[in-house]
Chain A
Amino acid sequence: MGPAMDDTRPIFLQIAERIEDDIIEGTLEEEAQAPSTTQIAAFYHINPATAAKGVNLLVDEGILYKKRGIGMFVATGARQIALTKRKEQFYEQYIVSLIREANRLGITTEQLSDMIKKGAVQQ
């Protein structure tokens, strides 16, 4: 789960991302029951309809599925779907802004590549 919501982006998207994070990190395993809309709403102090919209987004993407009368469950293969989606976003979110800032500071592509290698070793 995690910290409070950011008021500058649609909350339902943030809810979907938090659940995806839990699936990617393995906190929420495939075929495990996902938190209910009511639990999510209470935990983040958000409107239950907004929480439901976030959950339904993941249903549409095949990450969660509904067992009638029981609740929402993580689909088999959900982790792979979430990972693929995040890797696509990674380029836009991180690489583009990294290169832009590097250009601004006069860091060459070669220096940037060395820094990434150095960082990877230290991590």
Chain B
Amino acid sequence: MTYAVEVIGLTKTYSDVTAVDNVSFKLEADKIYGLLGSNGAGKTTIMHMLTAQQFETSGTLRVFGEHPYENNHVLPQVCFIKESQKYPDNYNVRDVLAIAAELYPNWDQSFAMSLVEAFQLPLKRNMKKLSRGMLSSVGILIGLASRAPLTIFDEPYLGLDAEKRQLFYDRLLEDYAEHPRTILLSTHLIDEVGTMLEHVLLIHRGRLLLDEETDSLRGRAFSVSGPAAVVDRFTAGRTIIDRQQLGGLVTASILNDAGAASGQSEAESLGLTVAPVSLQQLTVYYTRLHNRDASSNKGAEQ
């Protein structure tokens, strides 16, 4: 198995904050990964370390088998598109694309030009005069046309309308089908991009909570609603990931540990209302569950 990325025990601490805490994962070549997590979870710090823009405090980091820092074998194979990208003063769109074309060995100029047209980018306009959405479009264009073996997008769609975001997803999937490569996409919009991701990594408070195939998470959980006593009897001994109460009525979400349908039909036969849990909702529940664990541990220590 060839891995685009391997990290073992990756940790990044600032004076008194642990931004990334003992994270280990592997990215297989030519797969699309989603890096999910709430704000401040440590996603961007991880991406900065993968691209040698920040140093790890400890742990092992390999990109295409080598450490990326000042590494001429590795860095030309990596394209990192970040939301806060700065461009030199007085550069226009054409200048930026010319630099990108020199930087990335797999750059496809005709693909780039077709994206300029699709995203309606003004080639002669100064970068400083571009709208937020146009700046995002330039990043997306570079990320796609670079065809870098490892392409990392950090929330690349700020200011982009729904139609342009769809354009990004469509072109990404089309081009990926023709030219497979490893893509790491950090995002909040799980509902929008979930079907593109083969695998997801969920980060929370610097730790890795989930590292799984996306499809195996779909249908992982379901919710049951009904009278509190019946719900509690059904959920006893099962893994509850969320519980909401309204008067005597309870809605609980539980993990589908044993076999897909069995738990659900048992709940239905008890007269409970069964509903599926979406991928987005599941990640929210996992994150909350972890918050709860963290605060109860803290309680125990005190």
Contact = CB atoms under 8 A, between A and B. Distances in A.
Given A7-B278, A8-B276, A100-B268, A47 B216 contact: no
B104 interface: no
Interface string B267-302: 011010000111110000000000000000000000
A7 B283 CA distance: 13
A113 to B, nearest CB: 21
Contacts of A12: 215
A8 B174 CA distance: 25
Task: Give the size category of B's interface with A.
Answer: 20 to 34
A42 B174 contact: yes
B198 A47 contact: yes
Interface in A61-115: 92, 96-97, 100, 104
A45 interface: yes
B177 interface: yes
Given A47-B32, A49-B31, A96-B265, A7 B173 contact: no
A44 B215 CA distance: 15
A28 interface: no
B176 interface: yes
Given A8-B277, A45-B169, A53 B196 contact: no
Contacts of B198: 47, 49-50
B218 A7 contact: yes
B292 to A, nearest CB: 24
A47 B276 contact: no
A50 B34 CA distance: 14
B215 A48 contact: no
Contact of B195 (A38, A47, A92, A104): A47
Contact of A47 (B173, B261, B278): B173
A41 interface: yes
A6 to B, nearest CB: 8
A12 B176 CA distance: 19
Nearest to A53: B215
A31 B265 CA distance: 38
A45 B193 CA distance: 9
Contact of B216 (A7, A10, A97, A100): A10
B215 A7 contact: no
Given A12-B215, A97-B268, A100-B269, A7 B194 contact: yes
B263 interface: no
Contact of B177 (A11, A42, A100, A104): A42
Among B196, B216, B261, B279, chain A packs the most CB atoms within 10 A around the CB of B196
Contacts of A104: 271
Given A9-B218, A11-B218, A12-B215, A47 B279 contact: no
B191 interface: yes
A116 interface: no
Interface of B: 31-32, 169-170, 173-174, 176-177, 191, 194-198, 214-216, 218-219, 261, 265, 268-269, 271, 276-280
8 contacts: A8-B279, A9-B218, A10-B215, A11-B215, A38-B177, A44-B195, A50-B215, A96-B268
Given A42-B170, A48-B173, 14 more contacts: A7-B280, A8-B218, A8-B276, A8-B278, A12-B215, A41-B173, A42-B173, A45-B169, A47-B198, A48-B176, A50-B198, A50-B215, A96-B265, A96-B268
